[in-house]
Amino acid sequence: GVGSYNRDYNGNINNDYNDGVFAFAAGDIGLEYNFDFPLLVSIDFRPEFGGSNGYYKDNYGSDVALALRYQF
């Protein structure tokens, strides 16, 4: 994805005006298991890699999700 931001901060001590663009890429990796009864369990991992001129402090982030689903 690609985006832009514009941040204005007017504090008592300093005046900070910041704007720019950023880009990131993300993917999904997952495992799922189907039981003999109507239940499915899955776990997903989502790595996110980004680059910018100051919007993100770190160029890597990740998320993990666990799902329980009933099958009809």
Structural domain contains residue 35: yes
Q: What is the pLDDT of residue 10?
A: 60
**2 is a domain residue:** no
pLDDT, residue 42, reads 96
* Of the candidates 14, 10, 17, 19, the residue with the CA atom closest to the CA atom of residue 55: 19
User: What DSSP character marks residue 13?
Assistant: S
| Structural domain harbouring 51 | 24-72
Q: Is 20 left (phi over 0), alpha (psi -120 to 50) or beta?
A: left
Residue 8 belongs to a domain: no
Q: Residue 64: its pLDDT value, please? A: 94
What is the mean pLDDT, run by run of 10 residues, along the chain of 72 residues?
66 59 84 93 90 62 91 82
Domain count, the chain: 1
Q: Is residue 3 in a domain?
A: no
Q: Evaluate whether 10 touches 18 at the Cβ level (below 8 Å).
A: no
- Distance CA(27)–CA(62), nearest Å, equals 10
Q: Domain for residue 30, yes or no? A: yes
Q: Is residue 37 part of a domain?
A: yes
What is the value of pTM for the model shown?
A: 0.56
Residue 28 lies in a domain: yes
- The pLDDT value recorded for residue 56 is 52
